[in-house]
Amino acid sequence: MKKLTLSIGLLAAVLSGKAQDTTCTVVSQEKVYEFQYNPTKLLEKRGFIGYINIEVKENEVLCLHLYDKQPAFRKVFAFLPSNEGETKKVISYTLDSESNLYFFEGPKEIKVLSNSVK
């Protein structure tokens, strides 16, 4: 019985060690809402001009909800971490922003432009 309890405890520790936190960021035309994914809890609400910068840390997942309420596209840039002395790798996306979800795994920096392309 003790071995079974110990095995279950070790398994739970290993599985929780690889757990990832998920945050949800909703980007509308003028506002940004940041939520804790589960349980849903509003962390921050703010306006923005130009672009929004989102830091996705190691062992985190970003759920990005682009919500323009009309057919449109947004430019999104993902900056991947680099070693010292190397150039940062940048991946550019043009994403449908009417009301769609996109997921990004960390570590990386995400930049979402405020102006939508129709």
The pLDDT score that the predictor gives to residue 66 is: 92
Nearest in space to 112 (alpha carbons), one of 80, 88, 78: 78
Nearest in space to 37 (alpha carbons), one of 27, 49, 48, 26: 26
pTM to 2 decimal places: 0.75
Residue with the larger pLDDT of the pair 6 and 32: 32
Q: Where are the domains of the chain?
A: 20-113
pLDDT at 1 over 70: no
The pLDDT score that the predictor gives to residue 48 is: 87
Report, at the CATH architecture level, how domain 20-113 is classified.
Answer: Sandwich (2.60)
The C-alpha atoms of residue 32 and residue 81 are separated, in whole angstroms, by 24
pLDDT at 43 over 50: yes
